[in-house]
A and B are shown apart, each in its own frame.
Chain A
Amino acid sequence: MTVETRPLISAKNLWKKYGNNTVLERININVNAGEFITMVGTSGCGKSTFLKMLLGMEEPTTGELLLDGKPIPNEPDQSRGIVFQQYSVFPHLTVLENVILARELEQSPLLGKLFGGKKQKVIEEAKALLESVGLSHAIAKYPHELSGGMKQRLAIAQALIRQPRILLLDEPFGALDPGIRADMHQLILKLWREHNLTVFMVTHDLSEGFYLGTRLWVFDKLRRDPHAPEAYGANITYDLPVTRKPTQMPEELKLS
C-alpha cells in the first residue's frame, strides 16, 4: 500500500462560531482517500455543522478546511455527493429520471435535459446503477410510491452516478426499520468499496458507527462553563481507528 503524500481532507485549527455561540473549536484532522469516517455525538455537538462545512453550506469562522490542499469550495458541487435523512430525492421525477438527472445536468449545460440517443445512453448507465442498489423493479415509480428504505437506495444511486470522490451521509438510515437498516449497511459498504469512495457519515447510533466506519469520531465539548454553556465549542474527543474485527470500546463511551 502506498502512503498518500497529501491527505484528501484536512482541517487546520478550525473554529465555527455563530455569533457568541462556539460550535466547534480547534479541529485538527487529516483524512485520506478511501476512509469511511463515522461521526457520533450528542445533538448540537457540531457533527452536522462539520458535515455542512464539508458540503460547502457553511464556512469555517477561523482556520482552514482543505480539499486536496486547497480551501474547500464554499458552495455545494459535484465533487461531494450527499444523502440526507429525508427530502433527498425529487418528488416530481421517477426513479429513473432522478438518477439520470446528474448526467443530464452534466451533458446539457443550458437546459439540463437530454433527448434521443444521448438520453438512451445515460439511461443504460442509470439502469446498471439502479440494479446495483436493488431498485431495477421500480424504475418507473415516483418517490412517494417507494418505502423509506427504497427512497434512500434511490438517493444513494442518484448521488453516485456522477462519481463524487466524497460521499456525505447525514443520518441516512435514522428513520428506517432495523431490518432494512442492516440491508442498507451491506449496500453502503459494497458501494464504498466498488466506487473507491471517501465517506463521512453522521449517525446517532454508536454501534452503527463502529460497524460501518474505518474511523470513528466522537464530537464532544472538552471544556464546559456551566454559566455560559455556549462559550466553548465541541472538539473531536475520540478519533478511533476501527477494524472490521471487534474493537475495544472505551469504557466512557459504553456508559453514554
Chain B
Amino acid sequence: MKRLINLTPSKPTRWLLGILPFALIIFIYIVASDARLAENATDKLLPSFGQMGETLHSYVLEPSKRTGEYLFWVDTFSSLKRLLLGVVIAAIFGFTFGLLTGAIPTFYAPVSPLLTVVSLVPPMALLPILFIVFGLDELSKVALIVIGVAPCIARDIQRSALEIPQEQIIKAQTLGASSLHVLLRVYIPQLMPRLISSVRLTLGSGWLFLIAAEAIASTDGLGYRIFLVRRYLSMDVILPYVAWITLLAFIIDWLLLKISQKCFTWHHQGAH
C-alpha cells in the first residue's frame, strides 16, 4: 500500500468523488424536508423540490399579478446590468491606475500611498455616503461596486506590472521604444490576462456589494427579491434564487476563463 500522499484517484473515481458531496447534500435536504413536511404540511423552512419548482415556475413563466412583469427575468436583468456595469467601470479604472503606477515611477510616488489607503476603506461603510450623494437609484449601487472592486484590481495590476522583468523594459528601449511604446507593446498586452484573472477574483465581492446595495434600497434585482420575501419566510423563493445567483456567478467566471484562454494562449501555457 502506497502512502496516502502518493495515492491519486483515477479519472472516473475523481468524478464520482466530486459529485458525491453534492448528492449527499441534496439527499440530506430531501430527507429533512420530507420529515418536516410530514409533521407540518405548511412548514416553510425546508420546502420540497416540488414546491420550489412551482414557485419558480410562476416567477419565471407567469407575469406578476401586480405589475405584469416576469419577476425572475426582470430581477436577473437588473442585477446583471448593475453588476456588469460596475465591474467593467472598476476594471477600466483599476487597470489604468494599476498600469500607470506599476509602470511609471513618477506616477507611483503620489498615487500608490493613496491607493493603499483607499483599498483599506471598507466599501460597505461608504454606502450611506453614496446614497446621500448619488441618491437611491442605479448610480449609487454601481458606484458601490466600483468603489469596492476597483482598488483591488488596481493593486493587483500594479503588482503584476512591477513583476514584469526589468530586462524586458530595457530590451524594449534598446529596440527604440518610447515610454508610450513600452506601455502599449510590453505592459498592456502582458497585463490583459492578469486583468481577466483579477476580475474573476473580485467578482465574488462584486456580487456581495450588489446584493447588499439591492437589499437596502432597490425595487428590483435578485438581492432585492430575496430580502423582500425573507419577511414571509419564503424559502421556496430564496433557495432557487441563491442557486440561480451561484449559477450566474459560475457562468460568468467560466466565460472569462474561456475568453482568456482563447485570446492569451501564451499566458495559459506556462509563460510569464
Contacts and interface: CB of A to CB of B under 8 A. Distances in A.
Chain A bound to chain B: yes
Contacts of B184: 111-113
Interface in A128-142: 142
Q: For the complex, would chain B's binding face be called helix, strand, loop or mixed by DSSP majority?
A: helix
A143 B271 contact: yes
A162 B271 contact: no
Given A90-B186, A109-B178, A110-B180, A75 B271 contact: no
Given A102-B176, A105-B176, A82 B271 contact: no
B13 interface: no
Interface string B147-190: 00000000000000000010110111111111011001110011
A22 B106 CA distance: 29
Interface stretch (B32-40, B117-125, B228-236, B261-269): B261-269
Given A84-B167, A110-B180, A142-B271, A159 B186 contact: no
Interface string A86-120: 11111111000000011011100111110000000
B272 interface: yes
23 contacts: A76-B170, A76-B173, A76-B174, A77-B173, A77-B176, A82-B170, A84-B167, A87-B167, A90-B171, A90-B172, A91-B271, A101-B172, A101-B175, A105-B175, A105-B177, A105-B181, A106-B176, A112-B184, A113-B184, A113-B185, A143-B266, A144-B271, A159-B171
Interface string B121-136: 0000000000000000
Contacts, number: 90
Interface of B: 165, 167-168, 170-178, 180-181, 184-186, 189-190, 264-267, 269-272
Contacts of B269: 142, 144-145
B143 to A, nearest CB: 33
B266 A144 contact: yes
A231 B245 CA distance: 67
A162 B175 CA distance: 7
A148 B214 CA distance: 55
A57 interface: yes
Given A84-B167, A92-B266, A142-B266, A164 B185 contact: no
A53 interface: no
B171 A84 contact: yes
A112 B189 CA distance: 13
B174 A81 contact: yes
A55 interface: yes
Nearest to B167: A87
A249 to B, nearest CB: 33
A88 B177 contact: no
A89 B165 CA distance: 11
A67 B128 CA distance: 63
A78 interface: yes
A91 B186 CA distance: 9
A75 B177 CA distance: 11
B177 A112 contact: yes
Given A112-B185, A142-B271, A90 B180 contact: no
Contacts of B266: 91-92, 142-144
A220 B181 CA distance: 39
Nearest to B170: A76
A47 interface: no
B167 A102 contact: no
A158 interface: yes
B58 to A, nearest CB: 51
